[in-house]
A and B are shown apart, each in its own frame.
Chain A
Amino acid sequence: MSAHAHEHKVKRYTGLMDWLTTVDHKKIGILYMIAGLFFFLIGGLEAILIRVQLMEPNNDFVSADTFNELITMHGTTMIFLAAMPLLFALMNAVIPLQIGARDVAFPFLNSLGFWTFFFGGLLLNLSWFASAVPDAGWTSYVPLASNTYSSGHGVDYYVIGLQIAGIGTLLGGINFMATIINMRAPGMSFMRMPMFTWAIFITSALIVFAFPVLTVGLVALMFDRLFEANFFEAGNGGNEVLWEHIFWVFGHPEVYILIMPAFGIISEIVSTFSRKRLFGYSSMVFATVLIAFLGFMVWAHHMFTVGLGPVANALFSIATMLIAVPTGVKIFNWLFTLWGGSIRFTTASLFAIGFIPTFVMGGVTGVMLASAPADFQYHDSYFVVAHFHYVIVGGLIFGIFAGLHYWWPKMFGRMLNEGLGKITFWTFFTGFHLTFFVQHFLGLLGMPRRVFTYLPNQGFDTMNMISTIGAFLMGIGTIAFLLNVFITWAKPRNAAADAWEDGRTLEWTIPSPPPEYNFKQTPLVRGYDAWWKEKMDGNKEMTPAEPVGPIHMPSPSIIPLVMSIGLFIAGYGFMYDNLIVGGVGLLITLGGMFFRSVFDDHGFHIEPEDQDKGVHA
C-alpha cells in the first residue's frame, strides 16, 4: 500500500518555520516543555512575590488588590499553563515511543492543541499589560467574578484565556486516547502497556469527560459577563452555587488529571532504578482506573460549608475517603518494588523516592479534610493551602522533575549533570517542606487563606518567615535545574539508546534522540517490560514485526498556528465588545478548518536508504 505516493513532493522547513509547522510529537513535546517551563517561571515568580508580602506582619510590599491578582494568576497559571503543559510535554515525548508507534493518531491535532494552549495562556497573561488582571481567585467564584463585583476586564481574560487553552487540552486528551487504543505495536496488549502509558490513557479519559464541563461553565460565565445572561445572577433567578458545582465537577477530576501522570512517571522510575519489575502491576492498573472513577463522585467535598445538608456531606465524605484505598495500594506497590531492589540513587530516583512520603503526607491531610465536620474548621485556612501544595507540588511537580531528569537523554540526546541534579533535588525538596509544612500549623492556628496581610503576635510571624525562606530555596532549586539545562546544552550529544542501562520499555530501544520516524521497524512485543524481557533473554535488540520499507510521514503545516491566532484575535474581539474583530478571528479559524478539510495531506515517504541519515546511533 505504501509504495505509491512517491510523487508527493517532500515539504521540509528549517529553523523557526520548522518549529512553527511541526507535527512531530517529539518536537511538540519540546515546545510544550519550553512553554510550560516559561509559565512555571512566571507562576513561581508570583509565588515568591506572595511569600515576600506574607514574610512579616503588616507588610505593604504589594497592595491588597495586587495580592488578589497575584494569588489568582499564580493558581491559574500553575495549574493550567505550567503543570498541564509539562505533563503534555512528557506525554508527547514518551507515549508514542513506549507503545512502539511512529507518531500519535492525529499529528495535526497535536500541533493545534499545543498552539491553542499557548495562545490561550498568552492571552491570559497579557492581562498584566492591560492592567486588567483576574482577581477573583483561581476558582473564580460568583458573585465575586460577576459584573457586579468584578466590573473590569480581568475576569474576562480568565474566562476567554482558559476557554482557548481548554480546547487544546481536550484535543490532546482525544488524541492520546485514540493513539493508545489504536497505535500500539503488535503484541502489546493492554495488560502489557507500561504503567506510564496506562496512567496517560486514564488521564486522557478524565480530560475528555471533565474538560467539557469547564467549557460550559466558562461559556455561562462569559455569557453572564459579556451578554448579560443570568446563569449566576441571583437577582434574575440565577444560582451562584451552580457555578461551584460546575467548577468542581470539572475541578476535582482535574486534580486527578494532574496527579495520575505523576503516578505513572514514579512507577517507571522506581521500577527502573530498583532493577525490578513493578510490584503488583495489575493492581496498579486497577487502582488507577478506580481512582479515576471515584474522582468524578467527590466534587462536593470542596463545598462542605456551602450547606448542602448532612446527607450530601456524609455521602461525599465517605466517597472521598474511599479514594485513599486505591491510592494506598499504589504507595505500597512502590514500596514493595523498592524492597529488595538494587536501588540507584540518580536525580530521577531521588525525586521519585522523595515523592512517596511527601505524597503520603498530602494524602493524610486529604483524608482529614474529607471528614465533613472537621472540614468546617480547616475550610479556607492555610491547612487547605498546605494540603493541596503537598499533593500538587510534592506529588505532581516532584513527578515532573523526576520525569524530566529521567527522559531528558531520550528527548535531547544529552544526560543532565547528576551533581547539579542532586543540588536541584535537595534544595527543592528541603525548600518545599520548609515552605508548606509550617502552613499546616498556620491553618490550625486560624490563619485564613487569601489574606494579604496579618497582625503581629498571633503566633503567625515565625512560621510565615520560615515559609518564605523555603519558597526562596525552591526558587534556587529551580534555578539550579535551569543552569543544568544550559550547561548540558553545550555538551556533545552522546547519550546511549538505553541511556540508564536499566531501561525496561520500548523508548530505550531506539537512538537518543530518536529519528523522526521513531522505529525503523515496528517492534514485536513479547511481554510486559518488553525491552527488559529481550535483554534478559540475551537479545541485543527487539524482534522486528515488519520488514524494512519506506516509512509514511505526515507533512508539516502552518494551519494549526493560524487557527490558534484566529481564536486569540476572536477572544480579544469579544472581550472588548468588538464583534467585527471577534468575527474576523473566528473566520480565520474556520478558514483553517476549511483548508484542512479541502486539501488532503498525503504526507511523504522516507525511503530505506534515507532512514539512517543524521541518526545518532
Chain B
Amino acid sequence: MSAHDHAEGLPHQPETATLEGRNKILGFWIFLGAETVLFGTLFSAYLALRHNVMDGPHPSELFQLPMVFAATMILLTSSLTSVFAVQALHSHKKNAMVGWLLVTILLGLGFLGLEIYEFSEYVHEGHGFTTSAFSSAFYTLVGFHGAHVAFGILWIGLLILQIFKKDLTVVTAPKIYVSAIYWHFIDVVWVFIFTVVYLMGKVG
C-alpha cells in the first residue's frame, strides 16, 4: 500500500486502484439508484398535488424564471468544475483539483443563497409550507434537493481539508470521486426540478 501512498506513485485512476475503492464507487452508484427512487417519489407526490393551491398564489404567478434560470446555470457550471476536479485527480494535480473543488462549492453556495432568497420571497407572497398541498409538496421536493446541495457543500469542504492533511492517495481519491458523482446527481435532479416544477408551473 505504501508504494501508492504518495502522488508520484499513484496509478492513473487512483479511485479504482484498491478493492475498497471499487466497492465504494459501486456502492455509491447503488445508493444513487435509491436516491433516484426517493426523488422519483417526491416528484410523483408533487405532480399529484401541484394544482391544489387553495388560497395561496398559483405557480405561474409565483415563479420568477430569470432567477431560477440563473440558479440553474450556476449549478450546471458547478458540475463542469467538478469534472475539472476529477480530471485533475486523474493527472495527480493536487492543487488544481483542490482549486476546482473550491470553485464547485462556491458555486454551490451561490445556488443555495439564491434558493434561500427565493423561499423567503415566496413566504412573503403568502406561499408558506402549510398554505396548501401544493406548497407542502413544493417545499418538500425543492427543499430535499436544497438539503442535498448543502450536505454536498459540507462534504466536499471536509474532503478539501482532508486532502491538505492526507494528500492524494488511493484512500482519499475514491472519496473525491464519489463526491463528484454525488454532485452530478443533484445537478441532474435539479434539471428535472427546473423542468417539472418551474417550466411546467409557468405553462401548465
Contacts and interface: CB of A to CB of B under 8 A. Distances in A.
> How many B residues are at the interface, by size bracket?
35 or more
Interface stretch (A205-213, A274-282, A348-356, A530-538): A205-213
B69 interface: no
Contacts of A208: 30, 33-34, 37
Nearest to B5: A4
B1 to A, nearest CB: 5
B178 to A, nearest CB: 11
A339 interface: no
A230 B38 CA distance: 19
B175 interface: yes
B140 interface: yes
B41 A212 contact: yes
A345 to B, nearest CB: 41
B53 interface: yes
Interface string B150-163: 00000100110010
Given A182-B19, A216-B41, A231-B137, A174 B34 contact: yes
A170 B54 CA distance: 36
B96 interface: no
A236 B34 CA distance: 30
A213 B40 CA distance: 8
A262 B44 CA distance: 32
A310 B62 CA distance: 38
A368 interface: no
A236 B133 CA distance: 6
A594 interface: yes
Contact of B140 (A1, A223, A228): A223
Given A211-B34, A212-B34, A600-B171, A106 B41 contact: no
B132 A236 contact: yes
Given A178-B23, A220-B140, A598 B38 contact: no
Given A178-B27, A229-B140, A242 B34 contact: no
Given A236-B132, A600-B166, A213 B158 contact: no
Contacts of A246: 41, 44-45
Nearest to B169: A600
Among B34, B132, B140, B155, the most chain A Cβ lie within 10 Å of the Cβ of B34
B41 A237 contact: no
Nearest to A237: B52
B170 to A, nearest CB: 10
Nearest to B17: A1
A559 interface: no
B27 A598 contact: no
Contacts of A245: 44
A427 interface: no
B192 interface: no
Given A239-B133, A594-B158, A597-B162, A231 B49 contact: yes
Contact of B130 (A211, A220, A230): A230
A439 interface: no
Contact of B26 (A178, A212, A238, A600): A178
Interface string B16-56: 00110011001100110111011001101100110011100
25 contacts: A2-B1, A4-B2, A4-B3, A105-B23, A105-B26, A106-B23, A177-B30, A183-B23, A208-B30, A209-B37, A213-B38, A216-B38, A227-B130, A229-B130, A231-B45, A231-B133, A236-B54, A236-B132, A237-B132, A237-B133, A246-B41, A246-B44, A597-B155, A597-B162, A598-B158
Interface of B: 1-3, 18-19, 22-23, 26-27, 30-31, 33-35, 37-38, 41-42, 44-45, 48-49, 52-54, 129-137, 140, 155, 158-159, 162, 166, 171, 175
